[in-house]
Amino acid sequence: MSEYRGYQGISLEFLKTNQISVGDSVNILAEITFSGIIMPRYEHSDDKHIVLKLKSGYNIGLEIAKIEKIEKNQETIKIIKTDKKIEKVEGLPKILLLSTGGTIASKIDYRTGAVTPVLTAEELNSSVPELATIANIDAEVLFSEYSENIMPEHWLKIAEKIKEFSKSDYSGIIIAHGTDTMHYTSSFLSFALAGFPIPIVLVGSQRSSDRASSDAALNLIGATKFIIESNTKGIYVVMHQDENDDTIACHIGTRVRKNHTSKRGAFQTIGDNPAFLIVENQIQKNISKDFFKVNEFQPKINLDTKVALVKYHPGYDPDLLNQLIENGYKGIIFEGTGLGHIGKVMYENVKKANEKGIFLGMTSQCIDGRIGMTVYESGRDLLDLGIIPLENMIPEVALVKAMWAIGNYQNIEEVKKIMLKNIASELSN
C-alpha cells in the first residue's frame, strides 16, 4: 500500500474516504488554506495527522480534526526529463564526482515522497545547471548510504576508487557525502591518500534540495570552483561558512568538526580559520604553502577497527576498559577532561592495557586547546602509565588515525611514532 505509506488508523481512513493518496497535490481548508503535496509518514507515527509539503519546500503536520475540507488539485505535476546528453565543453577542466549518498546526492519524487540518488552527470546538470559552465563533470555512484551507515569498509572502497585516478587528467575529485560522519571519512582519506596529486573535496548538504533554504547547489558549485581555482592539493570539507549564501568555507579534512545539528554553517575548523574561503567567487587563502607535510604519494589503504574512543566522565565504570582489553582491542583513544585527565579509578586498567601492548592516546573533551599532561600530578601519573598525549588532535581524528596506523604499521613502537608525526595537518601549530 505505497499510496498510503506510513498512514494508519484515523489518518488512513481519512485519506481513503477523500480519495487522496501519497503524492497527490491538494488544497486543504483548516484555520487557513494550505496547498501542497501529501507526503508519506514514518511507520510508527500517530494516526491523527497528515503531512503536507508546502510549495516553499517545508513539511507541516495538519491535525485531521481541524481539517474542514480537502480536495485534490487537478494541476498536473510536471516530471522533468533528465536523459538529455550533456555535451562536453572543450577547454573546461575535468572533475570526477563520486557519490556515496546523503542529502546532497539525492532528489525527492514528490509523487511518492521517496528520496532517490542523483545517479548521472545529466541529472546533476538538471539539478545544478551552473556546473556545466564551470567544468566537465563525470559522475559515478559508489553506494547510496545515509552517513550514519558509512563504515570503515566504505572508507576503504572510496580510497581504492580514488587511487585509480592518481595519474588521471582530472583537476580534482568531489565526494558527495552525508554530513553526520563526513569528518571521519575525510580524516581516513587524509591519512590513506596523503600526498595525492590533486585536491579531494568532500561536500554535503544540511538541507535537502527541495527546500527553499537548501545549501546543496551552492556547496557543490563552491567545491567545483575551489578545485579549479585554489591551486592546491590535500583533502578538504567544503560547506557553507554561515547561514548566509555569501561565503563557502574550505576546511582541512583533519581539522574540521560538525558543530551544529542543522545550521548550514555547521562545520567549523577547530582552533583556526578555514584553510580557504570562497567569497563572491574569489578564493581567499589562509594557509601556508607547506601546510601539507607529505609531498610524495604513497597510498597506505589499510586499517584495523579494533580501536575504541573512550569518553571519560565521572562515574565511568573502569570495567568497561577491561572489556576492551579482553576483547582484543589494539588501541584506545581517551577523550579526557581538560588538559588530558581521567580519574584514578581507571589507573589499574590503564596499566594493564599498556602491559598488553595496546596503544593509548589522550585527547581532550574541550573543543579547542592542547593536551598538557605535565601540568598536574594526575597527568604525569598517566604519562608514567603509558598514555601518549596527542597535542591538539581532534578525538574523532585520533580514533581514525589510530585505526589507520595500526592497520599499516607492524608494532606498537611504530604506531606510537606515526601517531605523533604530523601527516595531514591533524596537528596544528
Domain boundaries, the chain: 2-72, 94-285, 307-419
User: pLDDT (tens digit, 9 = 90+) per residue, 258-290?
Assistant: 999 988 889 999 999 999 999 987 899 988 755
pLDDT in tens, 215-240: 778 889 999 999 999 989 999 999 98
Tens-digit pLDDT profile for residues 308-338:
999 999 999 999 999 999 999 999 999 999 9
180 catalytically annotated: yes
Catalytic residue (one of 47, 180, 272, 304): 180
**pTM tops 0.95, yes or no:** no
- Judge whether 258 counts as a catalytic residue: yes
pLDDT, residue 110, reads 46
- pLDDT for res 43: 52
Handedness of CA 203, 207, 208, 211 (dihedral sign): negative
Q: What is the pLDDT of residue 118?
A: 56
Task: From the candidates 103, 120, 185, 224, give the one annotated as an active-site residue.
Answer: 103
Catalytic pick among 24, 53, 107, 179 = 179
CA dist., res. 41 & res. 22, Å (int) = 9
pLDDT of residue 6: 78
Cell of 10: 484515523
Q: Is the pLDDT of residue 83 over 50?
A: no
Whether pLDDT at 382 is above 50: yes
Q: Report pLDDT for 305.
A: 98
Most confident option among 9-18, 82-91, 142-151, 153-162: 153-162
Which segments within 199-347 are labelled E, that is strand?
200-203, 235-240, 247-252, 256-258, 267-269, 276-279, 282-285, 307-311, 331-336
Active-site residue, selected from the candidate residues 258, 269, 363, 401: 258
Given its phi and psi angles, is residue 359 left (phi above 0), alpha (psi -120 to 50 degrees) or beta? beta
Read off the pLDDT of residues 336-366 as tens digits, 9 standing for 90 and up.
999 999 999 999 999 999 999 999 999 999 9
The fold for domain 307-419 equals Rossmann fold (3.40.50)
Tens digits of per-residue pLDDT, 29-69?
Answer: 998 999 988 887 755 567 899 988 887 666 788 999 999 99
Rounded CA-CA distance 224/227 in Å is 5
pLDDT over 90, % of the chain: 64
pLDDT at position 218 is 87
| 251 burial level (CB within 10 Å; 0-12, 13-18, 19+) | buried
Low-confidence winner among 90-104, 298-312, 343-357 (lowest mean pLDDT): 90-104
CATH code: domain 94-285 is 3.40.50.1170
Same fold yes or no, 94-285 and 307-419? yes
Which tops the pLDDT comparison, 105 or 171?
Answer: 171
pLDDT of residue 53: 81
Considering the domain 2-72 in this protein, what is its CATH number?
A: 2.30.30.520
Give yes or no for residue 114 having a pLDDT over 60.
no
DSSP-derived 3-state class of residue 407: helix
112 is catalytic: no
Q: List beta partners, residue 279.
A: 247, 282
* CA–CA separation, 295 and 388 (whole Å): 27
Higher pLDDT, 217 or 168: 168
Q: Confidence class of residue 123 from pLDDT cuts 50, 70 and 90?
A: low
- Alpha carbon 198 to chain centroid distance? 21
Q: Does the pLDDT at position 78 exceed 60? A: no
For residue 147 the three cell numbers come to 552517513
| pLDDT of 112 | 47
- Range in 125-139, 182-196, 314-328 the model is least confident about: 125-139
19-28, 119-128, 325-334, 395-404: least confidently modelled range: 119-128
Known catalytic residue at 103 = yes
